[in-house]
Amino acid sequence: MSILIDESTRIMVQGLGRDGSFHAEQMKTYGTNIVAGVHPGKGGSSIHGFPVFNTAEEAVHETGAECTVIFVPAPFAADAILAGANAGAGLVVAVTEGIPVLDMSKIVRELNELGTCLVGPNCPGLISPEKSKVGIMPGGIFRKGSIGVISRSGTLTYEVVNQLTLAGYGQSTAIGMGGDPVVGMKYNDYLELFEEDRETELVVIVGEIGGTDEQDAATFVKDRISKPVVGYVVGRSAPPGKRMGHAGAIISGADSTVEAKVAFLRKKGIPVADTVEQIVDLVGDGLGGKN
């Protein structure tokens, strides 16, 4: 199986400018079930074989879209997220980066009240291999299988997945959860879904410097997750106060360093790889050598 998306999930794309149009085509080519696009002023047209609407409300009403992916520029992305959620999309994937933290704080509260799941913002999205991809992940490196992947780092997700695929370990769903200080769903939300997915056998969590989300996840794994979990944390060379890649990856205290995170994960019984390549070995150990 997979979590959050599969081949039947009805997807709409909000924001069909240069980037949105390009990635909409890539998603459709991969096999994603795109049923609608949203771009004010382009309603009544079509792109890549799916209809375009002026508003998210129209798109959901006409096509039954249940997931939306946001490529709207940052100044307008907050409104687009809310429009998609209020229209009835139960899952919002916000690829857009640069959305103000204050806006995201308000949005997360509102989406929680609506019961809407939010992946991102500032994320590459998610993919259930050979079923559906929503976002900008390069589909060619993924292989259908039983490993769940949750990553705070966008591009590092690809390297981790590539190593797993080359070693024969396919993925059930891989998620880039977003690198901003305020995001929607966090490790624990995804871990709970993977725990319930009968075909996911092991979960890899990829963390980085900044915040304490990895520690929260380790405690959750210890208390609530029965499946094996493998960890990896990046940012070993980052000096205090240095931003590494995006806004959420800033060492702001003793608990947000790589060393603190690795020590805490291991204390909770989660094996942590020292290199990307070692993740494969730990996955093999967790599965008893099976792939």
Backbone angles phi, psi at 43, to 5 degrees: -55, 140
Q: d(Cα 261, Cα 259) in Å, to the nearest integer? A: 6
Q: Which stretch of DSSP H or E encloses residue 59?
A: helix 56-63
Both tokens assigned to 240: 């205090």
- Answer whether residue 248 shows pLDDT above 50: no
Helix, strand, coil in percent for the chain, rounding step 5: 40, 20, 40
Q: Class for domain 11-119, per CATH?
A: alpha beta
Fold classified for 138-286: Rossmann fold (3.40.50)
Confidence of residue 211 (pLDDT cuts 50, 70, 90): confident
- Answer whether residue 242 shows pLDDT above 90: no
Confidence of residue 250 (pLDDT cuts 50, 70, 90): very low
- Answer whether residue 257 shows pLDDT above 90: no
DSSP string over 125-163: EEEETTTEEEES--GGG--EEEEEEEES-HHHHHHHHHH
Does residue 246 carry a catalytic annotation?
Answer: yes
Burial of 198 (0-12, 13-18, 19+ CB in 10 A): exposed
Q: How far, in whole angstroms, is CA 34 from its chain's centroid?
A: 18
Burial of 287 (0-12, 13-18, 19+ CB in 10 A): middle
Confidence of residue 213 (pLDDT cuts 50, 70, 90): very high
CA distances (Å), origin 268, targets 49, 136, 202, 283 = 49, 33, 16, 17
- What is the chain's mean pLDDT, rounded? 93
What is the per-residue pLDDT across 4-42, written as a single tens digit (0 to 9) for each?
A: 999 999 999 999 999 999 999 999 999 999 999 999 999
Both tokens assigned to 49: 């074989």
Q: Where are the domains of the chain?
A: 11-119, 138-286
Catalytic residue among 23, 39, 61, 246: 246
Angle at CA 270, nearest 5°, toward 137 and 224? 90
Fold identical between 11-119 and 138-286? Answer: yes
- Strand pairing of 11-14 and 67-70? parallel
The predicted model scores a pTM of: 0.93
